[in-house]
């Protein structure tokens, strides 16, 4: 769980420009990854929060539950704005 928390914190530390470094406009993440972090995409869930997540990897007609109880780890930091969850 501590490793996942670090995976949540480090991208945000690199998401903002640093005064007196290489660029005053671009953040280290913008320079290396060439994608900006968006609050609309990457701040949708609060890390450590409890969620009920719908999952159906292979559609089929069975009477099994498709909703799982999970804990949010935080954003996956990709272009789609995916969120990483821990299955309870």
> pLDDT tens across 18-56, in order?
888 888 888 888 888 888 888 888 888 888 899 998 887
For the record, the structure tokens of 55 come out as 């999952």
> Whose structure tokens read 């930091």?
77
pLDDT tens, residue by residue, 2-26:
787 787 788 888 888 888 888 888 8
At 50 the pLDDT is 93
At 88, list the tokens: 């309870």
| H or E element at residue 30 | helix 28-33
Q: Is the pTM of this model over 0.75?
A: no
CB 76 within 8 A of CB 86: no
* Mean of pLDDT over the chain: 83
Distance CA 56, CA 43 (A): 24
CB-based contact 82:76 (threshold 8 Å): yes
């Amino acid at each position: 769980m501590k490793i996942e928390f670090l995976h949540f914190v480090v991208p945000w530390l690199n998401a903002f420009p640093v005064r007196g470094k290489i660029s005053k406009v671009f953040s280290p993440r913008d320079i290396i990854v060439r994608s900006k972090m968006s609050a609309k995409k990457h701040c949708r869930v609060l890390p450590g929060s409890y969620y009920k997540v719908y999952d159906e990897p292979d559609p089929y007609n069975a009477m099994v539950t498709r909703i799982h109880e999970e804990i949010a780890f935080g954003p996956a930091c990709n272009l789609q704005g995916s969120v990483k969850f821990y299955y309870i």
